[in-house]
Each structure stands twice: as structure tokens, then as C-alpha cells.
Amino acid sequence: MKILISILLISLAFSTVQAQEKEKEKTLEADKYIENGLISLAGKDGLSWQTRAGDFLFKPYTLIQTRAIFNYYDDEGLELSEQDNVLNSGFEIPYALVGFAGRAFNKITFNVALNAATSGAALLNQAWFDINLRDEVRFRVGKFKTPFNQAFLVQNGQTLFPILPASLTTRINLPYDINSVNPKLSTGFDIGMQMHGLLKGKLEYQLGIFNGTGIDVNTATGSLSDENGLPSLLYAGRLAYMPWGVMPQHQGDPGQLNKKALLIAASTSYNIEANYESSNDLRAGFEFALLSNRWYLSAEAYLLNMDFVERQQISPVYTFWGSYMQAGYFVTNKLQTSVRLDVMDRNSIDKDGLLFMPAAGLNYYLSGHNLKLQMMYQYLGKAGHATQFEKDDDDNGMSEHQVCVQLQFAF
């Protein structure tokens, strides 16, 4: 009898352990979709609340970036007596984000983030939820990152440099005095819906429709195109191949110094009647990223083709392109060095001349991801312009020397 009772007790304990392990695996499986595009959340306990049944999970987070920045502008040979070469320098807070992400009913994940460093519609940085049917089929609706440019798709708090490549964030130059129609090569955040998924753990796809008005507009403003009869929206798609498994959403992580991943991706988008209904903008991009132990390498090339609508009465079609390549290496477990070369054809392929921006930086992780110090220097050079006037005009509004020191807190 004693032996029988002992066997029953052991069996009961074993069954309990198995049930707990299965429940844990189920929770981890559901948690893998919890993300925010800012700092790593999946698989990290941190500060969170969960119902006893485990069907609802709530994780608050914050990201604060404070930087000191110095910008020196070339006087373009004007030699004015009161020329100010140092502008837009001092202290700034680009991001003061407070948000929460979570899971509901084991099928829905969600994320909301507010950026107190901005105003207007951009105050709402993100607001979306995912319906996760399976790895291969997921649906996202709300305000989130459009599927274009890996520099934007990686987590904002885990980038090699504190400032994005200028070729993505600088407005192009047009030979018309219409400042509102000068777009950027990137698409950034927008409101819309997206179907996405991971096929066989290696192939990721994203297909989405967005307003095409960017992060600064939270309302519907589109119309019906006069030329092709389609709604004036942004239609976007991206396909990424990752043969060694999913590429992490960071550009170097002190907690993953023994990981390897490779990403090759292509993306495209078509923004109908973009820029105040002035042009149909076609974008295309190519991405490469390699994570190998202490090394992180990435490169992107992208173009923007602007075809003005008929009522603008502008016949030329303008094409602009940009590209960058960058590398990072962990010298120690906390110190990461980085270099980047950024190139931009800002005045279109119809005119000679390129802008090139080499940069170097250091990242020091004082306390994992929670406290991070970033430093960078960037130089702006010009080459190939036909005349001195075109050379001076091409970098209008861009600093020749830029120094940035940023301290970041994330939780």
C-alpha cells in the first residue's frame, strides 16, 4: 500500500510539472508577438500584469532620449559679415515615449505609445493591434511603421547611431518653389492596415494599405484619383528572406553576442496623389543585414520616382535615390564602435551631383538596454556638381559638421 501511494504521489507531481511546463510554453508562444518597435519586450518579464487565467497581459514601458547636438553650417562662400555658421545646436529631447503593449485572448496583441516630445497628431506615436491567427497569417490595423526601410523597422532604442541616415530623413530638392511637395525617401509611420506573416520560419511578407500622409496626420484626407480611379492611398509591400531564422529587431545587442542571422529584403510602395495631391510617388528599396556574434553589418538602397499629376501641368518625371552602409562591432561586452557611409542624390538623376555623409560613433551600454550612451560625428561632402551654385544649393538646410551625444533610458 505504501509503495502504491508513493507511486500515485510521484505520478501526480510529474503530471503537475508537465501541465505547468505546457502552460509556460503556451504563454511564451503567445508572448512572442508582443512588440513595440522601440525596445525589446518579448520574453522579458519586466513590470507586467497578467490575469490568473493568463489570457490577458499588460506591459508598460518608457523610452527617453536626451541629446546634446552641435551643427556647423557652411557659409557657401557668401562671406557675409553677420553669417551664423552654428545653428540648431544645444540640447533636445527627440523622444519621451510612454506606452504599453500586451496580449488579449491569446490571439490579439496590441501596442499604444505617446511621444510627449512632440505635439499635434505626432503625439500619438503608435496605436495598433494584431490579430494573430498563426505565424503565417496575421492582420495589423492602426498607426504603425510602414513596411519600407530597415532603418525604420528596427527598434528605435537599439540602433547603431542616434540619428537616422540623412538620405532617409532629408527632403528632396525640386526645381519649383512648392515646399509642401518635397517629400522624403522614407515613409515612416502611418495609419492603415496590413497583412503579414512568417512562412516556414524564413520568409516574411508584409502587404499594407495606408493613408500616405505620415505620422503628422491622424485623420482621413484621401480622395479618388482623377487619373487612374484608385483611392489616393499608399499601397506598400515588403518581402524578406532570413535563411538562419528571424533577424532580431536591433543593430547590436550586448545580450546577443553569440547570435547569427542574415536578412535580404526588397520593398516597394506607390503613393497615389501624394504631397497635397501633387504627384504619384513610386518607391523601391533593397535591404541587407548580417548579425554575426559581435559584428553587425547592414546596407540599404532606395529610390523615389515622382510623376506629377496632370492638373499640375508639369511634364518631367523626377527620380531621386539614396543609399547607406554601416557596420558595428562590440570591442568589449559593453562598448560598440560604428561607422556609416550615407549617399544621397538629392537633386534627382537629371542633374549631376551627389551628397555623401560619412559618420563614426561609439555606443556604451552602462546598464544593459536600460541606460545607453551614444556618440557620433558626421561630415557632409559634395561631389560631381556642374556649377558652384548647384553645389551650394544642393545641401541647403543641411549642416556640414554634426556632433551628437545622446543618453537614453529605457524600461
Name the residue ranges covered by the structural domains of the chain. Answer: 69-91+138-143+155-410
Question: What pLDDT, on a 0 to 100 scale, did the predictor assign at position 393?
Answer: 87
Q: What is the mean pLDDT of the segment spanning 329-350?
A: 96
User: Would you state the torsion angle of the CA atoms of residues 395, 399, 402, 406, taken in this order, to the nearest 10 degrees?
Assistant: -100
Q: What is the mean pLDDT of the segment spanning 183-198?
A: 96
Better pLDDT: 76 or 260:
260
Residue 24 pLDDT > 50:
no
Question: Which tens digit of pLDDT belongs to each residue from 129-172?
Answer: 999 999 999 999 999 999 999 999 999 989 999 999 999 999 99
Q: What is the mean pLDDT of the segment spanning 174-192?
A: 87
Question: What pLDDT, on a 0 to 100 scale, did the predictor assign at position 12?
Answer: 56
- Show the DSSP H helices in 265-378 as ranges: 274-277
Q: How far is CA 25 from CA 32, 43, 130, 198, 386, in A?
A: 11, 11, 20, 20, 63
Better pLDDT: 285 or 390:
285
Q: What nine digits make up the cell of 377?
A: 560625428
pTM above 0.85, yes or no: yes
Question: What pLDDT, on a 0 to 100 scale, did the predictor assign at position 55?
Answer: 80
Which residues have CB under 8 Å from 397's CB, separation 6+?
170
Residue 19 pLDDT > 60:
no
Question: What pLDDT, on a 0 to 100 scale, did the predictor assign at position 184?
Answer: 95
Residue 20 pLDDT > 60:
no
Most confident of 71-75, 251-255, 300-304: 300-304
Residue 206 pLDDT > 70:
yes
Q: What is the mean pLDDT of the segment spanning 279-304?
A: 97
Residue 8 pLDDT > 60:
no
Determine what percent of the chain is predicted with pLDDT higher than 90.
Answer: 70
The CA-to-CA distance between both ends of the chain, in Å, stands at 55
Question: Which tens digit of pLDDT belongs to each residue from 363-406?
Answer: 999 987 789 999 999 999 999 999 988 888 899 889 999 999 99
Residue 23 pLDDT > 50:
no
CATH of 69-91+138-143+155-410, one of 2.60.40.10, 3.20.20.70, 3.30.300.130, 2.40.160.10: 2.40.160.10
Residue 359 pLDDT > 80:
yes
Question: What pLDDT, on a 0 to 100 scale, did the predictor assign at position 181?
Answer: 86
Question: What pLDDT, on a 0 to 100 scale, did the predictor assign at position 197?
Answer: 96
Q: What is the mean pLDDT of the segment spanning 304-311?
A: 91
- Show the DSSP H helices in 131-256 as ranges: 150-153, 166-169
Please answer whether residues 314 and 280 qualify as being in contact, where contact means their C-beta atoms are separated by less than 8 angstroms: no
- Binning pLDDT at 50, 70 and 90, where does residue 105 land? confident
Distance CA 61, CA 98 (A): 6
Mean pLDDT rounded to a whole number for the chain: 89
